[in-house]
Amino acid sequence: MSDTGTARWLDGDQQASWRAFLSGTTRLFERLDRQLREHAGISLPEYEILVRLSEAPDRRLRMAELASSLAHSRSRVTHTVARLEAAGAVIRRACASDGRGVFALLTDEGMQMLVDAAPGHVGAVREYLVDIASPDDFEAVGRVFGATAEMLADDR
């Protein structure tokens, strides 16, 4: 924030887009979370962790890598992983090369939960977002929030 003069409000179109964004994302996240809970018994943040782990070498990641990859606080990742561990989807293991470090690693059971959850989740993402946007518009979404993400990257 470096505005020194009078406030620069949003114009009508910007205002409309901003509010559509707020309303759309609120509804979208609520729906995606509900869909996952009902069909797979996990929340959206939990699902995202399973995805990251499934893609990682040896299906394991350091807690801090999970946190920065998801843009979640370390504390939040600790809590979420604790729940996933209680559910049998993940195991914690000490890191050999760094005495402070902790790996979260995906169990076979966790992998199975992900495999079961993924089609329905992706279907919902398509149905409520991707498939109702034109390809160009959806690419624009990617550009815009890519820029935002980069700008706000990890200086908490």
Partner DNA sequence: AAGAGTTGGTTGAAGTGTAAACCACAGCCT
Partner DNA sequence: AGGCTGTGGTTTACACTTCAACCAACTCTT
Site residues, DNA (CB under 7 A): 30, 34, 37, 43, 45, 62-65, 67, 72-83, 92, 95, 98-103
- Does 94 bind a copy of itself (CB under 8 A)? Our answer is no
Print the binding letters for residues 30-69 with a copy of itself: x by CB under 8 A, - otherwise: xx---x------------x---------------------
Beta carbon of residue 127, minimum distance to DNA (angstroms, whole number): 19
Nearer to a copy of itself, 18 or 94 (CB): 18
Query: DSSP assignment, residue 95?
Result: -
Read out DSSP for 40-80?
A: HS--HHHHHHHHHHHHSGGGEEEHHHHHHHHT--HHHHHHH
Shortest Å, Cβ 118 to a copy of itself? 7
Strands of the chain, DSSP E: 60-62, 90-94, 102-106
Distances (CA, A) of 131 to 4, 104, 127, 134, 138: 42, 34, 6, 7, 9
Q: Which of 31, 51, 45 is nearest to 83 (CA)?
A: 45
Query: Residue 79 binds what, of DNA, a copy of itself, none (CB under 5 to 8 Å, by partner type)?
Result: DNA
* Length, in residues, of the chain: 156
Q: Is 89 helix (H, G, I), strand (E, B) or coil?
A: coil
96: contact with a copy of itself by CB under 8 A: no
Residues that bind a copy of itself (CB under 8 A): 1-3, 7-10, 13-14, 16-18, 20-28, 30-31, 35, 48, 70-72, 118-120, 122-130, 132-133, 136-149, 151-153, 156
